[in-house]
A and B are shown apart, each in its own frame.
Chain A
């Protein structure tokens, strides 16, 4: 472990980190404070951190005059479904790779792993053509599809299962006559809970914040997701910064809440795979 040595070294370290942190958080704090300012004050100079006068009008107008709630529901429902499906798929496959030796395992694993390096922009056009032209382009299906089989999640699950679920537990269950799927459902899934939480948060954020795919796919404004809806306020002729700021703050709340609750698992879960490589 690295030591900071002297007391002054430690003070310097704390100061450096604080300054850096300030740089990281300033944009967010500024957005938060701006969302409570009347429109004219958002660009006030010098910019003040504490809104004066303080107003909730931006939020009120946003909720009253824009279909914010609908955008929010659209994004949330899509993200929740995508998350549940993908976490299940990942746990299944992660378990399959972690605890079985079978013909073609190495090849199949490498195929899965290399799908990490297929950029989304590459499948953007064909996915659009396939789904929209075949009539499967209903947002309820098509918005979910790109997030249901992430290789990253399988890798994460596989690493976690190898490290934390001993073979002996599974053997014991087999001797007791449990079916393979029964073992997965009754023993593996419960043991996986912490890392499932991490993966779930990650997947939720991926879907909830996604922009490019909904931008391409959703043309009907009644089916806009949050980022698309906010974008319409942002690019409309009189840029409604006040409303966008309020909307963005509201939009980020569930993500931040989820993150705060499951922060530990998420941070650890994300790095499980990377450390051992």
Chain B
């Protein structure tokens, strides 16, 4: 970008433009700084508040620092410690479970609901869309509070319902390691399903009707139509939704922090919580940074892989 701006070789200014192999070179041969000015505010902010922090994280991860004084260089020691830290392994494992829940449960559920909402003859479609979306506008603190009471062992709504239906309640939803994970997963479902539904619904509305008519002419049944017409047409949306859910679930924080505090026995501790705990409760800034770098490598690497395989983000190319 800077070379293009300074443009040393006055004789051959057009060279950089050619190199990128843009799709529409004929549009305007006149070179202008305008596009760079339009995008520069973003890049200034991006460099200052994204790129620099990631760099600082990398550097901090190689130091030991309690937040005061000068960080002490320790090389790769933080990473070696992470490799044997059972809490970190648990955090990784729990986060992986939440990611799997998002991708394997919430995404298909959202697709099913979208399919149902797309059915012809459905009344008040807008009302459904809106109602399912509402959880996303609710603040995490309300979510945590409501679900905290909802799952409560003695007074919780869930146990009351179970007692009324089956005569036995008193399930310790948040106190049992396995059930605590289930509870967090339920909250995630509540919070994100409707949001993802919106994307699928938009995708379904964009499928050309002729494709369905052709399938009907071929005598394809409902399942057949779904697998040969609907699913392939939804590929771009699905790709987007899967990557979004992956990135979202990989950094889950509020739900476990507010509902279970990561417990019991670290069964709901997420990587984000691990980072928060190391830095702001234990003053291990270098250690937290190392965990952050690991999270970054995993999320960034995997989502780049997803993007490559599923083909998103090529819209501008």
Instruction: List chain A positions with a Cβ less than 8 A from chain B.
Output: 1-4, 10, 13-14, 16-17, 20-21, 24-28, 30-31, 34, 42-43, 45-47, 88-90, 92-93, 95-98, 100-130, 145-146, 148-149, 154-155, 158-159, 162, 180-181, 184, 205, 208-209, 211-212, 216, 226-227, 230-231, 234, 241, 244-245, 248-249, 251-252, 255-256, 258-260, 263, 267-268, 270-277
- Residues of A with C-beta under 8 A to B209: 1
A29 to chain B, nearest CB (A): 10
Which listed residue, B35, B293, B312, touches A96 by the CB 8 Å rule? B35
Which listed residue, A2, A129, A244, A267, touches B133 by the CB 8 Å rule? A267
B290 to chain A, nearest CB (A): 10
Q: Does B113 contact A (CB under 8 A)?
A: yes
Q: Does B239 contact A (CB under 8 A)?
A: yes
With A25-B131, A270-B198 as known contacts, state yes or no: A118 contacts B275, CB within 8 Å. no
Q: Does B12 contact A (CB under 8 A)?
A: no
Do the beta carbons of B56 and A130 come within 8 Å of each other? yes
A265 to chain B, nearest CB (A): 12
Do the beta carbons of B60 and A125 come within 8 Å of each other? yes
Do the beta carbons of B16 and A158 come within 8 Å of each other? no
Q: Does B263 contact A (CB under 8 A)?
A: no
Which listed residue, B119, B164, B271, touches A121 by the CB 8 Å rule? B271
Interface size class, chain B: 35 or more
- CB<8 Å pairs between A and B, sample of 13: A1-B120, A27-B143, A30-B146, A97-B35, A101-B28, A112-B39, A119-B250, A125-B288, A126-B289, A211-B139, A234-B258, A255-B139, A277-B311
11 further A-B contacts with Cβ under 8 Å, apart from A117-B304, A211-B141, are A2-B222, A2-B225, A30-B150, A43-B154, A104-B20, A106-B20, A116-B247, A149-B45, A211-B253, A259-B134, A270-B199
Which 10 A-B pairs have CB atoms at the shortest separation, nearest pair first?
A277-B236, A96-B38, A271-B202, A100-B35, A126-B56, A149-B45, A248-B142, A123-B53, A117-B303, A126-B53
A264 to chain B, nearest CB (A): 8
- Residues of A with C-beta under 8 A to B313: 109-110, 113-114, 155, 277
Q: Does B17 contact A (CB under 8 A)?
A: yes
Do the beta carbons of B121 and A31 come within 8 Å of each other? no
Which residue of chain A has the shortest Cβ distance to B149 in the bound complex? Answer: A241
Q: Does B25 contact A (CB under 8 A)?
A: yes
With A93-B42, A252-B139, A277-B236 as known contacts, state yes or no: A123 contacts B50, CB within 8 Å. yes
> What is the CA–CA distance of A100 and B33 in the complex, to the nearest angstrom?
10
Q: Does B167 contact A (CB under 8 A)?
A: no
Residues facing A in B224-260 (CB within 8 A) are 225, 230, 235-237, 239-241, 243, 247, 250-251, 253-254, 257-258
Which listed residue, B117, B206, B243, B251, touches A120 by the CB 8 Å rule? B251
Residues facing A in B177-233 (CB within 8 A) are 190, 194, 198-199, 201-203, 206, 209, 212, 222, 225, 230
Which listed residue, A24, A89, A90, A117, touches B300 by the CB 8 Å rule? A117
- Of A103, A114, A268, the most chain B CB neighbours within 10 A belong to A103
> What is the CA–CA distance of A17 and B123 in the complex, to the nearest angstrom?
11
> What is the CA–CA distance of A57 and B314 in the complex, to the nearest angstrom?
55
Do the beta carbons of B140 and A47 come within 8 Å of each other? no
> What is the CA–CA distance of A130 and B288 in the complex, to the nearest angstrom?
15
> What is the CA–CA distance of A108 and B4 in the complex, to the nearest angstrom?
13
Q: Does B107 contact A (CB under 8 A)?
A: no
> What is the CA–CA distance of A276 and B212 in the complex, to the nearest angstrom?
19
Do the beta carbons of A117 and B60 come within 8 Å of each other? no
- Residues of A with C-beta under 8 A to B136: 205
Do the beta carbons of B138 and A17 come within 8 Å of each other? no
Q: Does B145 contact A (CB under 8 A)?
A: yes
Do the beta carbons of B280 and A216 come within 8 Å of each other? yes
With A17-B128, A102-B36 as known contacts, state yes or no: A244 contacts B45, CB within 8 Å. no
